[in-house]
Structure 1
Amino acid sequence: MMRTSKFNHDAQSVLFFRKWGRKSYSLFLALKKVVAISVLAVIYFLSTPVITLATTQDTSEVKMEYDLDEIEVSAQRTPALYSQVARIVSVIERKEIEAVPAQSVQDLLEYIAGVDVRQRGTEGVQADVSIRGGTFDQILILLNGINITDPQTGHHNLNLPVSLAQIERIEVLEGPAARVYGPNAFSGAINIITRKGNGNSATVNASGGNFGYFDGNASANVQTGRVSNVLAFNKKRSDGYTNNTDFDELNGFYGGYLNTTDGDLNVQLGISEKGFGANSFYTPKYPNQYEATKTLFTSAKWNSTGDLHLSPAVYYRRHQDRFELFRNNPASWYGGHNYHLTNTYGANLNSWFAWDAGKTAVGFEYRSEHILSNVLGKEMDHPKDVPGEDAQFTKSDSRNTLSGFLEHSLYISKWTFTAGIMGNYISGSDLGINFFPGVDLSYDILDGVKLYSSFNTSLRMPTFTDLYYQGPTNVGNPDLKPEKSATIEGGIKFSKPVVKGHVVVFYRKGKNIIDWVKESEDEIWMTQNLTRLTSFGAEAQVQLLLRKRLGEFVPNVDVSCLFNNVDKQEDDFISRYVLDNLKHKLVLSVNQRLIKNVSIDLKMVYQDREGSYTRFEDAAPAGEVSYDPFWLVDTKLSYKRRNLTLFSSVNNLFDTTYNDIENVVQPGRWVKAGLIYTFQINKK
């Protein structure tokens, strides 16, 4: 069992990943999903033989088991365990990451009912990720607790310097989180936590598949005294599943971890470089697009021990983007590619202490965002050369954000209460100082069953693309106001030995919501603030831990669903993003051990999207059409023995034709196979 956190608490008895911890189904214990069990039952009993054979459990598995409820998660400013948080938090752990049929963060997030992943490029190339009907610009992305959100556009938020092979855990906080993370955590936040390594070892991970697919990873963990070092590299490529969908990506990542009696120091450095065919990514009128990006990210964070806990951090992120509207054979009127370079740096301090009245946290953050571009920003007096390109930046802009945080948590008998507030000032705006409060409350009505409710507020500043983009089909608006929202939610969370899950209802009211809109299919997209937008929805999850009671070869089943209705005040425009939300999402997961060391994982996802888009034929508009609902089925077969894992996966098993974004058609059936091998290194 995992150690609890350093502060005292009464850990609630919940579920233990005892006999099924290495099964990918346990991933969905940490998620939140739903679907029709009858459909799964038919597939399961037709494809899997009935096995009544009993085996002795591998003792190495037992050593890896721990109680999910004792994991400390980043859902509030004061430290809190998963079991204590009065919010919906999805936690995807390493065991589940290895078991599911996904090889990118985007694919993995598809299996969370409350998350909407609209993929343009597959396998981590590019995706717009949102939570509970928000937009891709309304969530905050963190890497080991450090904000890596891109100020240019949310399209680049998941340009990560790490591959899925190096991720230890992903935490998804659903709902506004401004008082926890600051501006832009408008509809939620995703915290990606990398692996810290254990001792001295090396791991190789390689897989291949159709469409010329290759994914190779190599990593090493080296322990030098109190310092643990992790170095990892990733190479991923594909020829593309259709014309102009090829990609080539290279990542490198270093993590250093120093443990002392006074505290812990975490240092990270990551680089990423990729180029990809962007078939109809931003406009189907010119489908032969291409994009290349480079990302550099580094940070250092200290966590002290003692009565007063201090956690200062500094960080820097540099992102360079080249967008080509014509990959080749440009039109005569084409003036050249778009070049963008953003530099983001910041520092923050969070401190907390425990006393008789609970736990109190106080924090501050300074963040500075800068952009150089030949498209975005205000005209510069003196152009600057674009690094590595025969071009110049002619425009720029910058802004600084200063935020202060105060939060208090109180635990009394069966009650938990957390209240906090963020004060925020953004340079270059006429907002002045704004305050965004929030409160979370829960009550344990039974052992393992709690009622909870929360109220939170948030804001989002427009991206530089929202403000300034000028193109043949899109025009930005420098007069945009920040988005603001208030959200209330409540429900029940339950955790019993055989069943676990939640039922929650939420309501969000947004003001000045930013969207790209037009009045007819022939007009140019323009950004504007929608006067009002309300969202009402419900989310439910049921996890049936049948294996825990009925035996090793009985499957675990996870069913979760989301319903969300977005209502706008005005009806006289076509929305590109805000109103194209998922109205229904259903996720069904089953994990089954076939024989010892061999397991199969099955995922079924149903999506029904609101809104419509202008269908293009031969690069010309052919009418406005609604999004069609669709089912996707993914599966993965794994064999694991000691340090070796062999696997084969099939995504989109039934070769469904579908699209998440306008005219960008997604790949059909994709078959992959690979291996993972870990070498233990004994140092003398």
Structure 2
Amino acid sequence: MPCPALSRRPLRLTPIATALLFASPVFALELQPQVITGNPLGNSQLASPTTVLEGDDLLLQQQGSLGETLKNQPGVSSSYFGPGASRPIIRGLDGDRIRILRNGVGALDASSLSYDHAVPLDPVNVERIEIVRGPAALLYGGNAIGGVVNTFDNRIPTQAIEGIHGAGELRYGGADTTRSSAGKLEAGNGTFALHLDANAREFNDLKIPGYARDRHAPQSEDGNEKKGRLGNSNGRQDGGSVGGSYTWDDGYAGLSYSNYDANYGSPAEQDVRIRMKQDHYAFASEIRNLQGPFSSVKIDAGYTDYEHREIEGGEVGTTFKNKGYEGRVEARHVPLGPLNGVIGAQVNRNEFSALGEEAFVPQTDTNSGALFILEEVQAYEQLKLSLGGRLEHTVVDPHAQGNERFAAAERSKSFTAGSLSSGAVLTLTPIWSLAATLGYTERAPTFYELYANGAHVATGTYEVGNANLSKEKAVSSDLALRFDNGTHKGSVGVFYSHFSNYIGLLGTGRTLNDEGEADADGIPEYTYSGVRARFTGFEAKDHWTLGESAYGKFALELSGDYTRATNLDSGEPLPRIAPLRLNSGLLWESDRWQARVDVQHASNQGRVPDNESGTNGYTTVGASAGYHFDVGSSQWLAFVKGDNLTNQTVRYASSILRNIAPAPGRGIELGLRTTF
């Protein structure tokens, strides 16, 4: 239940906010319109498909990782690496094709480098999550070729705050026996605003049905696998922040500092732990109602100091460090005839190093700079068009430092990537509208795609880069039919992406020892290879208001998605693609009580490369219930939720650990949240 002071503020979105702005609140049967205040093109609809999670819906879908929190959204799956690490995958695209932002700016980490590297963010601190499915590279860079996940935490308050407001939350239970606590405090005098938050989470080894390893997985090294538990999957996460801003009628300016600290196990290796720390500093400002060629200017900047240690048998094997900054400025120009638009610039620098005998990537500095523009025109009353472009230059500068395995990392490489995007929203009737996008996107290869060479202990794989990789290039399109007649609200859409050069982490079928030599008892080899590829699929969602009776209000939510991805060079399917998924949820609300029951079905995934195994289908049942009550001037929500109530064995096709790390079994979680 949102804090009253926060609920009075208009909701703030970034430029990627688009037309399909519709959350599916767990405890709200009537969908409320969204107010878009941060979109540089105003309250207008754009064509890209977008989902927003906030309020009670976000509260009850919240898990310990970002990927698991979002995995039930249309088009979004999870890279699941146990409870400690999980990154969102959008339409089968993962890693550096998905841009994860914090208040519109990237926070450097190492999560795209490997599936065992967590995103250093606990969703408990997030007030709102915005997901863009499909290319968003125009505004946020080539590594948003697959989509964007943007989180908002108000650590730099953007609106005036009067008095003292806050929130607190406690959780216990679930398949990993989570013990979680979090708190937030905001105070202000109408001009100066202060934000404080802190959180702590601990979790045990995950409860699972049966044994962790399936028939496709090799036996555990000690041969003594424990039934009903995923070994070495326990851990903890701690974090907090302090921020403040100065606000006035036409803008704000502020600073924040946040810290994240985690320690969790790798289910791939029973004696490997991961210790992660991140310090992040941010600045944000916006000035509105200017006179001159620009009506508003917005600046965001962040500096991150990240460290990640992989500890094997109690000793540090590899230390990953990533330091750097990102800054961007957006300026909205005054209308030029029928044109409304924004121009901007962005700069990035990150200094990455992997230290230790088991380092599988070299020390690398990466610098990039970009210019972008987005324009919109109301062609006529029923048709709105948008067009934009981005030009980005990236320099990747490796340092082999005498390590023979990184002999390919002898000189820097530079790439100039360009992106173009167009969109249209056609209002057919007051109920129906049609949205379409067409874009061309380029992405520079990352340092690890170019230069990786070595065993990655935490994932149990041997990864090999290719220094001769060229830019990743794709032509993508979306077409969606949207509807809202008061009873039904949703959309049905299809998408298509053709990559003339798709950089994939593909298995070779070989096994190597730690020295990179062929060894039947070694670990599987994966190489970064450029191939032609095609991604197609569909997404659909409907919120159906069933009506109201003496027993309360009822609604039904239906959704489904499917992605088909093919390596056009070999004719084989691409790996780690989620299968067809169908979801249904029955919602009920009566006075202060609310509840829902969810059923999710995932088909088996048999479209896999020859050297990989598929996954079986499954059907899971979940349920939640909550009760709102007031104590004095504070608002409270007591809730209980159950996941996988029938205790099904679930193995995500999108997880590289699907054969040795199933998803959680049955879990019941209790929670209490208050706002004041």
Q: Do they fold alike, i.e. is TM over 0.5?
A: yes
- 1:395 positional shift: 4.8
- 1:88 & 1:267 partners in 2: Cα distance? 32
Instruction: State the match for 1:581 in structure 2.
Output: 577
Corresponding residue to 2:171 among 195, 201, 207:
207
- The residue type equivalent to 1:402 in the other structure is G
1:602 is aligned to 2:597: yes
- Cα displacement string for residues 341-369 of structure 1 (whole angstroms, at most 9, x for unaligned residues): 00120221110123132312111111001
User: 1:634 and 1:541 mapped to 2: Cα distance?
Assistant: 19
Counterpart CA distance in 2 for 1:572 and 1:370 is 38
Match of 1:533 in 2: 533
What is the aligned partner in structure 1 of residue 306 from structure 2?
319
Change (3 A) 1:222 1:435: same
User: Which letter does structure 2 place at the counterpart of 1:461?
Assistant: A
Report if aligned partners of 2:353, 2:363 keep a CA contact under 8 Å in 1. Answer: yes
Which amino acid in 2 is paired with 1:406?
I
Q: Is 1:23 matched with 2:27?
A: yes
2:174 matches 1:224:
no
Q: Secondary structure at the match of 2:274?
A: strand
Q: Could you say which residue in structure 1 is the equivalent of 2:41?
A: 79
* Residue 274 (structure 1) shift: 0.4
- Quote the offset at 1:289 in angstroms: 2.3
Which aligned pairs between 1:622-641 and structure 2 lie closer than 5 A? 625-641=613-629
Aligned to 1:657: 649
CA offsets per residue over residues 402-428 of structure 1, 9 Å max, x none? 100012111231111110000111114
C-alpha spacing 1:672/1:152, structure 2 compared with 1 (3 Å): closer
Mapped pair 1:169 → 2:128: yes
Q: Which residue number corresponds to residue 669 of structure 1?
A: 666
| Structure 1: distance between partners of 2:64 and 2:357 | 33
- For residue 408 of structure 1, the aligned residue among 353, 371, 375 is 375
Q: 2:365 aligns with which of 398, 402, 416?
A: 398
1:105 maps to amino acid: L
Matched, 1:67 2:33: yes
**Against the structure 1 CA distance between its residues 677 and 261, is the aligned structure 2 distance closer, same or farther, given a 3 Å change threshold?**
closer
Judged with a 3 Å threshold, the aligned counterparts in structure 2 of structure 1 residues 100 and 402 are, in CA distance, closer, same or farther, namely closer
Note the C-alpha offset of 1:199.
Answer: 3.8
Residue identity matched to 2:492: V
- Alpha-carbon shift at residue 161 of structure 1 (Å): 5.6
Q: Secondary structure at the match of 1:362?
A: strand
- The alpha carbon displacement at 1:166 in A equals 2.9
Point out where structure 1 has 5 or more consecutive residues left out of the alignment. 7-11, 30-65, 281-285, 331-335, 380-393, 615-622
1:276 corresponds, among 244, 248, 264, to 264
Counterpart residue number, 1:366: 347
Which residue of structure 2 lines up, in the alignment, with residue 496 of structure 1? Answer: 485
Q: Does residue 144 in structure 1 map to residue 93 in structure 2?
A: no
RMSD: 3.3
The equivalent of 1:418 in structure 2 is 386
Structure 1 residues 607, 252: CA separation in 2 closer, same or farther (over 3 Å shift)? same
Q: 5+ unaligned residues in a row in structure 2: which ranges?
A: 1-6, 13-17, 207-228, 397-411, 513-523
- Partner in structure 1 of residue 470 of structure 2: 481
Which of 645, 655, 679 lines up with 2:637 in the alignment?
Answer: 645
1:446 aligns with 2:429: yes
Q: After superposing the two structures, state which structure 1 stretch, 651-660 or 181-190, moved more.
A: 651-660
CA–CA separation in structure 2 for the residues paired with 1:494 and 1:301: 36
Greater shift in the superposed pair: 472-481 or 150-159: 150-159
Report the equivalent of 1:563. Answer: 562
CA distance in 2, matches of 1:601, 1:542: 16
Deviation string 1:4-52 (CA, Å, 9 cap, x unpaired) is 799xxxxx999999xx9771566xx6xxxxxxxxxxxxxxxxxxxxxxx
Instruction: Report the alpha carbon displacement of residue 162 of structure 1 after superposing the two structures with TM.
Output: 5.0
2:325 is the alignment partner of 1:345: yes
- Relative to structure 2, which stretch is displaced further, 413-422 or 601-610? 601-610
1:119–1:606: structure 2 CA closer, same or farther, 3 Å change rule?
Answer: same
- Identity within the alignment, %: 17
Calculate the TM-score normalised by the size of structure 1. 0.79
Q: Which moved more, 1:174-183 or 1:91-100?
A: 91-100
8 A contact 2:280–2:303 mirrored in 1: yes
The answer on whether the counterparts of 1:218 and 1:232 sit within 8 Å (CA) in structure 2 is: yes
**SS of the counterpart of 2:142?**
coil
Higher RCO (CA-CA < 8 Å; seq separation 6+): 1
- Alpha-carbon distance in structure 2 between the residues aligned to 1:15 and 1:530: 35
Distance 2:283 2:258 in 1: 12
* SS in structure 2 of the partner of residue 554 of structure 1: strand
The 5 Å alignment of 1:294-313 reads 294-307=277-290, 308=294, 309-313=296-300
Using the TM superposition, give the Cα deviation of residue 434 of structure 1 relative to its aligned residue in structure 2, in angstroms. Answer: 3.1
TM-score by length of structure 2 reads 0.80
In 2 relative to 1, CA 370–511 (structure 1 residues): closer, same or farther, beyond 3 Å? farther
Q: Structure 1, residues 284-323: CA drift from partner, whole Å, max 9, x if none? A: xx44322111111121111111242111222111211111
**Is the contact made by 1:371 and 1:377 (CA closer than 8 Å) also made in structure 2?**
no
CA contact (8 A) 2:285 2:298 kept: yes
Looking at structure 2, the residues matched to 603 and 347 of structure 1 have their Cα atoms a distance apart, in angstroms, of 41
Question: What is the alpha-carbon distance in structure 2 between the residues aligned to residue 398 and residue 667 of structure 1?
Answer: 38
**What does residue range 45-194 of structure 1 map to in structure 2 within 5 Å?**
66-68=32-34, 70-72=35-37, 78-81=40-43, 84-100=45-61, 102=63, 104-122=65-83, 125-148=84-107, 150=109, 153-155=112-114, 159=118, 162-194=121-153
Instruction: Return the offset for 1:565.
Output: 1.4
| Secondary structure of the structure 2 residue equivalent to 1:127 | coil
Shift of 1:482: 3.2
Q: In structure 1, what residue type is equivalent to 2:673?
A: I
Distance (whole Å) between structure 2 residues aligned to residue 201 and residue 273 of structure 1: 26
What displacement does 1:534 show?
A: 0.5
Q: Distance in 2 between matches of 1:239 and 1:563?
A: 33
| AA aligned opposite 1:201 | H
Q: Which residue of 2 aligns with 1:553?
A: 552
Shift of 1:670: 1.4
Is the counterpart of residue 508 in structure 1 residue 473 in structure 2? no
Q: Is residue 288 from structure 1 mapped to residue 277 from structure 2 by the alignment?
A: no
Residues in 2 aligned to 1:291 and 1:162: alpha-carbon distance in whole angstroms: 15
The residue identity in structure 2 corresponding to 1:139 is I
Q: Distance in 1 between matches of 2:618 and 2:74?
A: 15
CA distance change for structure 1 residues 507 and 186 in 2, over 3 Å: closer, same or farther? same
For residue 441 of structure 1, report the CA deviation from its aligned partner. 0.8
1:542 matched residue in structure 2: 542
Aligned to 1:570, what secondary structure does the other structure show? coil
Whether the aligned pair in 1 keeps the contact of 2:68 and 2:87 (CA below 8 Å) is: no
Q: Per the alignment, do residues 106 and 13 of structure 1 end up closer, same or farther by CA in structure 2, a change over 3 Å counting?
A: closer
The aligned counterpart of 2:4 is none
* CA gap 1:611/1:340 in 2 versus in 1, 3 angstroms: farther
Equivalence for 1:250: 238
Report deviation, 1:515: 2.2
Superimposed CA distance per residue, residues 157-205 of structure 1 (whole angstroms, 9 cap, x where no aligned partner): 9955653333221111110111121120011001111145774133321
Are 2:71 and 2:88, in contact at CA under 8 Å, matched by a contact in 1?
no
Q: For the residues of structure 2 that align with 1:101 and 1:181, how far apart are their CA atoms?
A: 26
Matched residues, number: 589
* 1:165 counterpart SS class: helix
Residues in 1 aligned to 2:26 and 2:529: alpha-carbon distance in whole angstroms = 47
Q: Contact 2:418–2:442 (CA<8 Å) still a contact in 1?
A: no
Q: Give distance in 2, aligned partners of 1:255 and 1:354.
A: 32
